[in-house]
Amino acid sequence: MPGMVHIEQLGVAVGEFRLRDLTLDTAEHEYFVVLGPTGAGKTVLLECIAGLIRPDRGRVLLGGKDVTDLPPEQRRVGYLPQDYALFPHLTVRENLGFGLMVQKRQSEIPAKLEHYASLLGIGHLLDRLPDRLSGGEKQRVALGRALAVDPGIMLLDEPLSALDVATRERIGDELRRIHDRTGITTIHISHNFAETLRLADRVALVRDGQLVQVGTPEEIMRQPQSRFAAEFVRSENILAGVAAGTRIRVGETVLTSTASATGPVCVTIRPDDVEALTTAAADAFRATVVGIEARGDGYALHTQGVLPLTAFVSRSEYRRQQFEPGCSVWLRLPLAAVNVFAAGGDEPANHPNGDQAA
Amino acid sequence: MSTRPRSLPAADRMFRTVFGGTLGLAVLVIVGILGGMAAYVDWPRYVRWAVTTPDGHAFLAQVWWSVRLSFVTSIAATFLALVVAIPAAYALSRFRYPFPLVVDTILDLPIVLPPLVAGVALLTVMRYWLGPLFDSLGIQIHYTARGIVIAQLFIAAPFAVRAIKAAFDDISPRYEEVSRTLGCTPFQAFYHVGLPLARHGILAGTIMTWARAVSEFGPILIFCTASEKTAVLPIRVFLFNSAGDVAGGVVTSVILILMAAAALLGFKLLGGSRLSL
């Protein structure tokens, strides 16, 4: 399986950044996003896979082959650094053909140039120098340069972070389209969960050089398994409770979950799963709106009642129901929205009746 | 509606006057000293003398010999300095190595050493340690043009290392890293990426290294002595002055100043002023 990546007990320290016995697997043809805050060691991980950093411990296997001791040029990886690093002294054409030239595969250059210029829409840029390209154009050229040498896997280091919001979404979709066309296993580094949701087949959440959780974007978003994960994906409603089977006591309230647990737990509920109504409903909690916060595509209602909860409402819903600070609301929590995980060292310190969710 | 001319606040005016005035003074001192020296010679008369009289012809022949010797030795020294400096500077810029402070200090030593000490060191090593070896091969080093090249190289090579390291430091190692993932060996990454990207800095460093080599005096005086055979331009200035020919010394010095000015101009046009020297 040429595109499979297996990282085993990887440990390395580079300046302030380190990886601590990180183990990870990607499937062939997968678009895999490594997600985490700045300083989590994501780039170090990518550079270990590319062979630019030698790990102190552990192994890197690409396509089942142990490449830990191989130099970068023998690993068949395509690497797209955050700043693209297009060779400034070479034209776009020369940048695209560079890998084939040094690998003495000159005869392939014309066909590859035509193919990737067409796939990436950069045919009109071939004679330009990199300093005459926009951010998005640079990125496409860098991508073409990496793809032209037929890599077994692609490594993308925060490829969208230097772009403006509109370009970011368009280029993000392009990255996914190109991945789907080429089928090359891709590892993409990101600190942006929204970007991850758009692109990833699976996500590895990392923090301080350690793996926190692996799953589909939906799993990471709906079922975070630690307080860090819940906060990173902005679950916002993070409450401490005690579980007995599927029933969880949170303060004076009992919630029901689809998952079963025992003992001290954390409960997370995404604001967009909390249904806010201005009229009484039988299976809803009554609460008072204590704050309203405008967000990109709607409003967050911070409420206080038997539980301190934040609900998210769309702009149209907000206008229709006429929410305002001090008004009463009824909050309904669908069964599937209540996520539970065992309380560890990073469970919420606040009692649920405190100001936790505000 | 009348408009008042904008004037700077008093504190700003005072600040600009003091600092700008100091800058002007610094420029004036250099121009004054060099100009004052050049003004010592009655140039039209001197040129007429040099072109029309036998003594003048002899003077021109001496200066021409010195110009040629200076060019040949300094270009050879610069070439050899680059052969050493380019890989050494790359290693200094890119690799982690033990005791970096010690290595850096050792490399800078020939630059800050009193020229006399550099000459004594070269003379001692070449005469007593390596001398017998070269003698057995029938090659004489000290008191010859070869010796001049070695003396110039001893000072110019560390200078070139420093200048070229600055050029490599200016280039993100990311380019070479990317080239490695595209299939380059470390040598190919250096040749195809590092070297071409640093070319302006290397060229600027080369010019300054040459300027340094061509103006070398102290080590050459000690290692090769001041003689007709070893009279590069600075030695020629020394010989004229020692013989009481002040005008000859001034004329030769002016030639050296023009060469240095041309080198500096070339260096700045190549963007080398960004490099720390």
Q: What is the CATH number of the domain that holds A316?
A: 2.40.50.100
B182: nearest CB among A51, A83, A98 = A98
pLDDT score recorded for residue A3? 64
Measure the CA angle with vertex B18, ends B16 and B24; round to 5°: 90
**Is residue A350 predicted with pLDDT exceeding 60?**
no
Judging contacts by C-beta atoms under 8 Å, the chain A residues touching residue B177 are: 47, 50, 52, 72, 79, 81, 85
Q: Is residue A127 assigned to a domain? A: yes
Residue found by looking up tokens 């700043």 in the block:
A83
Judging contacts by C-beta atoms under 8 Å, the chain B residues touching residue A103 are: 182-183
Does one domain contain both A307 and A257? yes
For residue range A206-242, what is the model confidence (pLDDT) as tens digits? 999 999 999 999 999 989 999 999 999 888 899 999 9
Contact B181 A72 (CB under 8 A): yes
Residue found by looking up tokens 């230097």 in the block:
A162
Q: What pairs with residue A5 in β-bridges?
A: A26, A62
B178: nearest CB among A81, A88, A89 = A81
Burial of A104 (0-12, 13-18, 19+ CB in 10 A): exposed
pLDDT score recorded for residue A16? 82
Structural domain total, chain A: 2
**Is residue B78 predicted with pLDDT exceeding 80?**
yes
What strands lie across the sheet with A210-215, from one edge to the other? A77-80, A153-157, A185-190, A31-35, A202-207, A210-215
Highest mean pLDDT among A157-161, A201-205, A222-226, B204-208: A201-205
Judging contacts by C-beta atoms under 8 Å, the chain B residues touching residue A85 are: 172, 174-175, 177-178
Does one domain contain both A198 and A240? no
Does one domain contain both A313 and A269? yes
Q: How far is the alpha carbon of B270 from chain A, nearest alpha carbon, in Å? A: 16
* Residue A272 DSSP label: G
pLDDT score recorded for residue A161? 83
* Phi (first) and psi of residue A306, to 5 degrees: -70, -25
Q: Is residue A110 assigned to a domain? A: yes
pLDDT score recorded for residue B143? 84
Q: Flag whether residue B146 sits within 8 Å of chain A, measured between CB atoms.
A: no
Q: How far is the alpha carbon of A219 from chain B, nearest alpha carbon, in Å? A: 33
pLDDT score recorded for residue A356? 32
Q: Flag whether residue B6 sits within 8 Å of chain A, measured between CB atoms.
A: no
Residue found by looking up tokens 């950093």 in the block:
A53
Residue B90 CB contacts under 8 Å (≥ 6 apart), including other chains: B164, B168, B190, B194
pLDDT score recorded for residue A257? 86
First vs last C-alpha separation in chain B: 54
**Is residue B277 predicted with pLDDT exceeding 50?**
no
Contact A52 B184 (CB under 8 A): no
**Percent of chain A whose pLDDT exceeds 70:** 95
Q: Rounded mean pLDDT of chain B?
A: 91
**Is residue B156 predicted with pLDDT exceeding 50?**
yes
- CA distance to A31, A270, A287, per residue, from A280 (Å): 45, 22, 11
Q: How far is the alpha carbon of A101 from chain B, nearest alpha carbon, in Å? A: 9
Residues making up chain B, counted from first to last: 277
Copy the structure tokens of residue A296: 């990109």
Please give the Cα distance from A174 to A179 (Å, whole number).
Answer: 8
**Is residue B3 predicted with pLDDT exceeding 80?**
no
Mean pLDDT across B251-272 = 86
Please give the Cα distance from A37 to A205 (Å, whole number).
Answer: 9
Residue A228 CA to its chain's centroid (Å): 14
Q: Flag whether residue B197 sits within 8 Å of chain A, measured between CB atoms.
A: yes
Residues A275, A285 contacting (CB under 8 angstroms): no
Please give the Cα distance from A209 to A34 (Å, whole number).
Answer: 11
Please give the Cα distance from A214 to A219 (Å, whole number).
Answer: 9
Please give the Cα distance from A258 to B139 (Å, whole number).
Answer: 93
Question: Mean pLDDT lowest for which of A122-136, A156-170, B93-107, B242-256?
Answer: A156-170
Please give the Cα distance from A259 to B85 (Å, whole number).
Answer: 68
Q: How far is the alpha carbon of A112 from chain B, nearest alpha carbon, in Å? A: 14
A110 pLDDT tier (thresholds 50, 70, 90): very high
Q: How far is the alpha carbon of B141 from chain A, nearest alpha carbon, in Å? A: 43
pLDDT score recorded for residue A355? 35
Question: Mean pLDDT lowest for which of A44-58, A324-338, B47-61, B243-257?
Answer: A324-338
Does one domain contain both A147 and A118? yes
Does one domain contain both A250 and A273? yes
Q: If you classify domain B45-274 with CATH, what class do you get?
A: mainly alpha
What's the per-residue H, E or C state across B129-182? Answer: HCHHHHHHCCCCCCCCHHHHHHHHHHHHHHHHHHHHHHHHHCCCCHHHHHHHHC
Which residue in B170, B175, B178 has the most chain A C-beta atoms within 10 A of its own C-beta, making it the best mutation to test that interface? B178
Please give the Cα distance from B258 to B67 (Å, whole number).
Answer: 12
For residue range B13-57, what is the model confidence (pLDDT) as tens digits? 999 999 999 999 999 999 999 999 999 999 999 999 999 999 999
Q: How far is the alpha carbon of A238 from chain B, nearest alpha carbon, in Å? A: 41
Burial of A284 (0-12, 13-18, 19+ CB in 10 A): middle
Which residue in A70, A74, A102, A141 has the most chain B C-beta atoms within 10 A of its own C-beta, making it the best mutation to test that interface? A102
Q: Is residue A126 assigned to a domain? A: yes
Does one domain contain both A296 and A201? no
Does one domain contain both A240 and A177? no
Q: Is residue A354 assigned to a domain? A: no
Contact B179 A149 (CB under 8 A): no
A281 pLDDT tier (thresholds 50, 70, 90): confident
Does one domain contain both A183 and A317? no
Q: Is residue A351 assigned to a domain? A: no
Does one domain contain both A155 and A39? yes
Please give the Cα distance from B44 to B27 (Å, whole number).
Answer: 27
Taking the CA atoms of residue B82, residue B83, residue B88 and residue B94 in that order, the dihedral angle to the nearest 10 degrees is 80
Strands A328-332 and A339-342: what pairing?
Answer: unpaired
* Phi (first) and psi of residue A307, to 5 degrees: -130, 145
Contact A71 B180 (CB under 8 A): yes
For B195, nearest residue in chain A (alpha carbons): A89
Does one domain contain both A193 and A271? no
Q: Is residue A325 assigned to a domain? A: yes
pLDDT score recorded for residue B246? 94
Contact A87 B188 (CB under 8 A): no
**Is residue A260 predicted with pLDDT exceeding 60?**
yes
Residues A299, A293 contacting (CB under 8 angstroms): yes
Query: Which helix H or strand E contains A277, and what residues bound it?
Result: strand A275-277
> How many A×B Cβ pairs under 8 Å?
61
pLDDT score recorded for residue A346? 55
For residue range A288-317, what is the model confidence (pLDDT) as tens digits? 999 999 987 899 999 998 889 999 999 988
**Percent of chain A whose pLDDT exceeds 90:** 62
What's the per-residue H, E or C state across chain B? Answer: CCCCCCCCCHHHHHHHHHHHHHHHHHHHHHHHHHHHHHHCCCHHHHHHHHHHCHHHHHHHHHHHHHHHHHHHHHHHHHHHHHHHHHHHHHHHHHCCCCCHHHHHHHHHHHHHCCHHHHHHHHHHHHHHHCHHHHHHCCCCCCCCHHHHHHHHHHHHHHHHHHHHHHHHHCCCCHHHHHHHHCCCCHHHHHHHHHHHHCHHHHHHHHHHHHHHHHCCCHHHHHHHCCCCCCCCHHHHHHHHHHCCCHHHHHHHHHHHHHHHHHHHHHHHHCCHHHCCC
Residues making up chain A, counted from first to last: 358
Domain that holds residue A47: 5-222
Q: Is residue A357 assigned to a domain? A: no
Please give the Cα distance from B118 to B232 (Å, whole number).
Answer: 18
A101 pLDDT tier (thresholds 50, 70, 90): very high
Does one domain contain both A192 and A250? no
Check which CATH number belongs to the domain holding A175 and give it. 3.40.50.300
A88: nearest CB among B183, B192, B197 = B197
Contact B192 A98 (CB under 8 A): yes
Q: How far is the alpha carbon of B157 from chain A, nearest alpha carbon, in Å? A: 27
Q: How far is the alpha carbon of A187 from chain B, nearest alpha carbon, in Å? A: 15
Copy the structure tokens of residue A219: 């799993």
Judging contacts by C-beta atoms under 8 Å, the chain A residues touching residue B186 are: 71
For A50, nearest residue in chain B (alpha carbons): B181
**Is residue A354 predicted with pLDDT exceeding 50?**
no
Does one domain contain both A196 and A256? no
Residue A68 CA to its chain's centroid (Å): 26
